[in-house]
Chains A and B, each alone.
Chain A
Amino acid sequence: MIRALSTAATGLEAQQANIERISNDLANVNTDGYKRSRNEFQDLMYETVREAGGSIGAGSQSPVGVQTGMGVKVGAAHKIFEQGPARMTYHPYDLMIEGKGFFPVQRPNGEIAYTRNGAFHLDAQGRVQTSNGSLLIPQITIPNNAMNVLITAQGEVKAVLPGGQESVLGQIQLIAFPNEQGLSAAGESLFQPTLASGQPLQGVPGEAGLGAVMQGALEGSNVNVANSMVDMITTQRAYEMNTKVMGVADQMLGATANIK
């Protein structure tokens, strides 16, 4: 009975983690390059009161045992790297990855991070960087006399200079990970590698399973509002039911205390 109380408490904790996850997804429904997350629950250990297959004498075994579970925990919470919808912006430095891959960027503190939010801007020196000042790797500098900037699907950056000649400014590289779900989200649409994600694999867009780059478009958030709302309803009800179990356990304790 005391166990039912704590079991219900684990349920409340798990459902609360779920509602926090849903609220973060819904808050980021308009965040470019945002990836929705998923919580995976796992049942906790079991107390085996009686072993299944234990001997009950005369050479026969008990066909079933008695096992009581201890509740639930959040086993994993990870991002789902499903492609988000394309949003056409026609801005020359807005890039979208169609398929797998991340843009490598160097954060102002020198750390390397990876993003799928391709809303790039120029700084005073013409260097391509994200809106929070992380420079694209390899560094690409747009000359200030460039009339037009073209970025091909393979990630080649070209500028049209006065006089009409084209000059190749650089090549955008994309990064893939053996296990992208192992990346740790660093906020600001950035992801950082962990031991679980494996080593970054560099490549040219459109080759070796990497996605192609599309200029003038942004990848919207892949949060599905309808699914999130359904999740919210079921989570809320699941939470309620666990509180009901708590109420019952409490009633039972109260009744026991009042026997005398």
Chain B
Amino acid sequence: MASGLWTAVSGASAQSQHVDMVANNLANQDTLGYKKDLPTFKEYLSVLEREPSALDVPRAPIKDKDFFPLDGRDQSFVVVDGTYTNHRQGNLRVTQAPLDLALDGPGFLEVSTPFGIRYTRQGSLKVAMDGRLVTTEGYPVLAAQPGGLAAALPVTAVQPSQGGLPTQGGVAAGQASDLAARFINLADVGGATAKISISQQGELYAGDQLIAKLGVSEFRDLNKLKKYGGQLFENRDPENQIGDGTQKTVVRQGVLENSNVNPVEEMTNLIKANRLFEHDLKAIKTFNDMLGREANDIGKL
């Protein structure tokens, strides 16, 4: 009798997870390079209570439930099956700053974190104290090839952290040394005083000197990327990465990609999830009333 109660509970808890995601999307509606999440729900069957069987018509009396085979499938729960990150391009915002990049297309910038390579579309880049090109969090941005395309610039050895601010500069501690060869070093061209221009193919020039080509990765299945926080994504499957040569992402300098959260859509989802949650609660309440009647009213005259 009361097993339907748990169906309603599963619905309410799924909707409340939906509200959690809407809250996160709305909180990040101004986060550069943020990609919105949306949940998908799945029907989750409870155990078959009774196998459907042929009616034994002449020998047994026919009961009314033989015509409505309730085999447990009428009571399926709902669970959040997956969260899809919508990788649609966010709005572009023109800033005209030389180190602001937006990626036009499905690519990601490669950055080196102490935990391995991560991918991001947050293109507000900085020059760290030692001249390396880093993200806002201080993770070095990687070039497509070791030593950059120019290869003439000496790659400074990995320096241990010099106790700088955690967000910028002094972040090299614990970096893998093979990645260190792909750091982009602007120290020898004067750091931030250099006139930096970045071509649509991601080639980074100081004046007319080619420094490096930015590492831009594309993936076969964007849904396989795992969100890491700080607009970083993690790729667990090396097969997923598309090899060199076929990338079609265009790098735009002086532009930033905003969050792709659409507030109208999110508010609508919020209303929907809120009301569906209320419906589920109403069902729970009805079960409560029914159980109460069963307990107290049956048998009363």
Known A-B contacts A14-B30, A69-B28, A241-B263; A181 and B168 likewise in contact (beta carbons under 8 Å): yes
The interface residues of chain B lying within 8 Å CB-to-CB of A196 are 128-129, 164-165, 167-170
Main secondary structure of the interface of A (DSSP, over half): mixed
**Interface pick from B54-62, B147-155, B189-197, B244-252:** B189-197
Tell whether, in the assembled complex, residue A255 and residue B278 are in contact, meaning their CB atoms are under 8 Å apart.
yes
**Interface pick from B65-73, B77-85, B101-109, B293-301:** B77-85
**Interface pick from A126-134, A139-147, A149-157, A246-254:** A246-254
The interface residues of chain A lying within 8 Å CB-to-CB of B285 are 259
Main secondary structure of the interface of B (DSSP, over half): mixed
In this assembly, does A67 line the interface, its C-beta being within 8 Å of a C-beta of chain B?
A: yes
Interface residues of B in 233-253 (CB under 8 A from A): 236-237
How many chain B residues touch the partner (CB < 8 A)? Answer: 78
Tell whether, in the assembled complex, residue B27 and residue A177 are in contact, meaning their CB atoms are under 8 Å apart.
no
In this assembly, does A27 line the interface, its C-beta being within 8 Å of a C-beta of chain B?
A: no
In this assembly, does B26 line the interface, its C-beta being within 8 Å of a C-beta of chain A?
A: yes
Tell whether, in the assembled complex, residue B26 and residue A241 are in contact, meaning their CB atoms are under 8 Å apart.
yes
Q: In chain A, what residue has the closest Cβ to B226?
A: A52
Q: Report how far A210 CA is from B283 CA in the complex, Å.
A: 71
Tell whether, in the assembled complex, residue A69 and residue B37 are in contact, meaning their CB atoms are under 8 Å apart.
yes
The interface residues of chain A lying within 8 Å CB-to-CB of B128 are 178-179, 182, 196, 198
Shortest distance between the CB of A41 and any CB in chain B (Å): 4
Tell whether, in the assembled complex, residue B223 and residue A63 are in contact, meaning their CB atoms are under 8 Å apart.
yes
The interface residues of chain A lying within 8 Å CB-to-CB of B257 are none
Tell whether, in the assembled complex, residue A63 and residue B224 are in contact, meaning their CB atoms are under 8 Å apart.
yes
Known A-B contacts A69-B28, A196-B167; A46 and B227 likewise in contact (beta carbons under 8 Å): yes
Q: In chain A, what residue has the closest Cβ to B230?
A: A42
The interface residues of chain A lying within 8 Å CB-to-CB of B263 are 237-238, 241
Tell whether, in the assembled complex, residue A209 and residue B274 are in contact, meaning their CB atoms are under 8 Å apart.
no
In this assembly, does B52 line the interface, its C-beta being within 8 Å of a C-beta of chain A?
A: no
Using A75-B137, A195-B165, A201-B191 as known contacts, list a sample of 18 further A-B pairs with CB atoms less than 8 Å apart, ordered by residue number in A. Answer: A4-B23, A10-B27, A52-B226, A62-B82, A66-B83, A67-B37, A68-B21, A69-B229, A76-B124, A178-B187, A195-B170, A196-B168, A237-B263, A238-B29, A255-B278, A255-B281, A256-B281, A259-B281
Q: List 17 A-B contacts (CB under 8 A).
A: A3-B20, A8-B27, A51-B226, A64-B83, A68-B21, A72-B30, A82-B96, A178-B130, A179-B129, A182-B168, A195-B162, A197-B129, A201-B191, A238-B29, A241-B263, A244-B270, A259-B284
Residues of B within 8 A of A (CB): 12, 16-17, 19-32, 34, 37, 39-40, 80-84, 95-97, 122, 124, 126-131, 136-137, 162-165, 167-170, 186-187, 190-195, 221, 223-224, 226-231, 236-237, 263, 266-267, 270, 273-274, 277-278, 281, 284-285, 288
Residues of A within 8 A of B (CB): 1, 3-5, 7-8, 10-11, 14-15, 18, 40-46, 48-53, 62-72, 75-76, 80, 82, 100, 176-182, 194-199, 201, 208-210, 234-235, 237-238, 241-242, 244-245, 248-249, 251-252, 255-256, 259-260
